[in-house]
Amino acid sequence: MDISVKQLEEATSIRRQIDNLQQRLSSILRGTTPRTGVAPAARAPRPAQTGRYFSPATRAKLAAAAKARWARLRGGATTTTAATPARKKGQLTPAGRRKLSQLMKARWAARRRTTSKKAAPARKKGALTAAGRRRLSELMKARWAARRKASK
């Protein structure tokens, strides 16, 4: 495709006119005045409009509510009483921290009491007592004696 510089400039000019007319049309349909001062070619193409359309009155109400929220957070005009400071969510109160500390101390003390009360060390599983070992020894000696007697 062979395009001359003149044809390219003409196409660019037509494109600018189309962008300008589309902008004017959309501003008329929305009830606002068109923006001027920004050349359409210098502006980046806008993505397709998404979301809901809010009237200017609704936008003003939303902006006022947002400003009030930010003022409350910054410590400006507040609707809550000054006697109750705002508490961060998920934080322990000093009373809650004290109660938790007492519970943990009681738990640790109970654990220390149970480990120090061991009177006799626990017998290892599978270990023989002295009496059991003696009995086993006697049984084995009897078995070996019976084998020796059978083999003669």
Spell out the per-residue pLDDT of the chain, length 152, in tens: 677 888 889 999 999 999 999 999 988 888 765 555 555 555 555 566 667 788 899 999 999 999 999 999 888 655 555 556 666 677 888 999 999 999 999 999 999 988 876 656 666 777 888 899 999 999 999 999 999 999 88
- Is 150 part of any domain? no
CA–CA separation, 27 and 82 (whole Å): 47
CA–CA separation, 78 and 69 (whole Å): 9
- Is 95 part of any domain? no
- Is 34 part of any domain? yes
Compute the 3-state secondary structure of the chain and give helix, strand, coil in percent, each to the nearest 5.
60, 0, 40
pTM for the complete prediction? 0.23
- Is 152 part of any domain? no
Could you list the residue range(s) of the whole structural domain that residue 36 is in?
A: 1-45
Total count of domains within the chain: 1
- Is 110 part of any domain? no
